[in-house]
Structure 1
Amino acid sequence: MFKIGIIGAGNMGEAIVRGLIEKNVVKSTEIIVSDIDPDRISYLVEKYNVAGSSSNKRVVENSEIIFLSVKPKDLEKTLEPIKDSFTQDKVLISVLAGIKIEKIRKILEKPVIVRIMPNTPALIGEGAIGVSFEEIDENKKLEILNILNALGVVVEVEEFLMDVVTGLSGSGPAYVFMFIEGLIQGGIKGGLSYPQAKELAVQTVLGAAKLVKELDEHPAVLRDKVSSPAGTTIYALHILEEKGLKDAVISAVEEATKRSKELSK
């Protein structure tokens, strides 16, 4: 019997495997994974010493907690053939963007269903994870939260807000990667080498994020502290405002949220 089963061994499936093992939540021998791609299964088995199977049914029947990490469009064809394998003592944790618990419940009657929206930094234990629960035993809930905490920071929200979580933190790393790319390219344009620009850009974003978290001040307050009268920063901020950086980010979150809602229909 395995503690954790993972159906869908893509990037997020691997992030879950790695996070759980590295944070010592479970042993590698307590995890079993399945995927439609046998090469992907072999890769995870070899790299993380987990068990692998081409059978989703075997994963469900032999695991206590099952992460469902397939594409949203594959929900029905993944769960329908194995729905009878889910018993009342099982917990299904859905990682599917835009898919409501209610929709999964129409296929599965018995297991506890939990909906999460992690992001790719979960691969290194630095994810931002939104989670929504049905009615659930408090001890079981604490067990699930302990597992999810291995992947990063967990924020519990009502399910109707999960689409916003998807638009903000689920897709958010891509926005940050694009910003970092811009910083690097700006540095290169000014004469820095790629390694120099990358190291400075990455540390700038990392350090700024830590300041926001640890000082617990509004980002606008911290921004103003960097902006000296007639200095370089205020001139740069003027350009960012003129180009609509903040509005573009807000619109990006809104569009991703909208798409998540469309996926749920």
Structure 2
Amino acid sequence: MKVGFIGTGSMGSLLIDAFLSSGALEPCDVLAGNRSQAKLLQLQERHPGLSIGSNREIAAGSDILFICVKPLEFKTLTEEISGSLHSEQIVVSITSPVMLYHLESALPSKIAKVIPSITHSVKSGTSLCIFGSRLNKKDRLLLLHLLSFIGVPLEIQETHTRIASDFSSCGPAFISYFIERWIEAAVEATGIEEALLTRLAGEMLLGTGKLLTEGGFTPQELQERVAVRGGITAEALNHLRTSLDGVFERLITTTHEKYDEDVEKLDILFGAGGIIQAPLDR
């Protein structure tokens, strides 16, 4: 099975590295295309045996093709590669505002959308999977099996793409910002070493994640278990509840507004303005 990648920037190269280091693929299974020849040569040097080529060559030679470019680059790219694709290939977009109907209207192939996460670089986290109407059960299982090597693949509704991505894909940035500010305040207040707190925070996040995914706890139950009434944790939690009032609602509004804006621009590019869409989940 040949797996191609058009776009080898931050996420495209991360996926290639993760699939290869996990053993899901061998370098001889991978084809890569990018506007920057220098980036392709660096990738090939890092993974001897990996094939590089033009976008059309990568499209024609792939059984599964991951498209890892920016949203507004999709229309031009689909026009370039459409003639190189056929109905039995699987094309996977990793870009959340690019809708299934955009790609199914432009390409003859089976279409899926997978939203990956930076956590795949350590074989962790979830990949969000949205399957188009042309994929059969065998196609879905093939994609799920491939993605299982680098994390936990979860099938979701396309209307939930943005809110689910806030947690799985944007979440590492949001949580790390919270941790960063907490560490900065602690270092300033006590003089403790930043590296020590970073290690403590990382191990705490790993353990908390396991409690939520394997330990049977809900977030509320975990708080109740740790925060003894009248204790230090409970006092600090009350402060957080007051300080963060409205923050998460504004965060969701911000990500959804940007997402809606990108979808509207893509509708215009793909000529999909007349398509009646399901309302985005709020």
TM-score relative to the length of structure 2: 0.87
1:199 deviation in Å? 1.0
SS in 2 for 1:215: coil
Aligned to 2:59: 60
1:100 deviation in Å? 0.3
Superposition pairs of residues 17-166 of structure 1, within 5 angstroms: 17-108=16-107, 110-135=108-133, 136-166=135-165
Output the amino acid matched with 2:233.
Answer: T
1:64 deviation in Å? 0.8
1:102 deviation in Å? 0.4
Q: Quick check: 2:31–2:53 contact (8 Å CA) kept in 1? A: no
Aligned to 2:269: none
Q: Quick check: 2:96–2:113 contact (8 Å CA) kept in 1? A: no
2: CA distance between counterparts of 1:46 and 1:220? 48
Aligned to 2:274: none
Q: Percent identity of the aligned residues? A: 22
Aligned to 1:255: 254
2: CA distance between counterparts of 1:169 and 1:234? 28
2: CA distance between counterparts of 1:130 and 1:106? 22
SS in 1 for 2:2: strand
SS in 1 for 2:113: strand
SS in 1 for 2:92: strand
Q: Larger deviation: 33-42 or 65-74?
A: 33-42
1:166 deviation in Å? 2.4
Q: Unaligned stretches of 5+ in structure 2?
A: 265-282
SS in 2 for 1:129: strand
SS in 2 for 1:151: coil
Total equivalences in the alignment? 262
1:167 deviation in Å? 2.6
Output the amino acid matched with 1:94.
Answer: S
2: CA distance between counterparts of 1:201 and 1:139? 41
Aligned to 2:239: 239
1: CA distance between counterparts of 2:182 and 2:201? 6
TM-score relative to the length of structure 1: 0.93
Output the amino acid matched with 1:95.
Answer: I
Q: Quick check: 1:168–1:253 contact (8 Å CA) kept in 2? A: no
Output the amino acid matched with 2:262.
Answer: L
Aligned to 2:222: 222
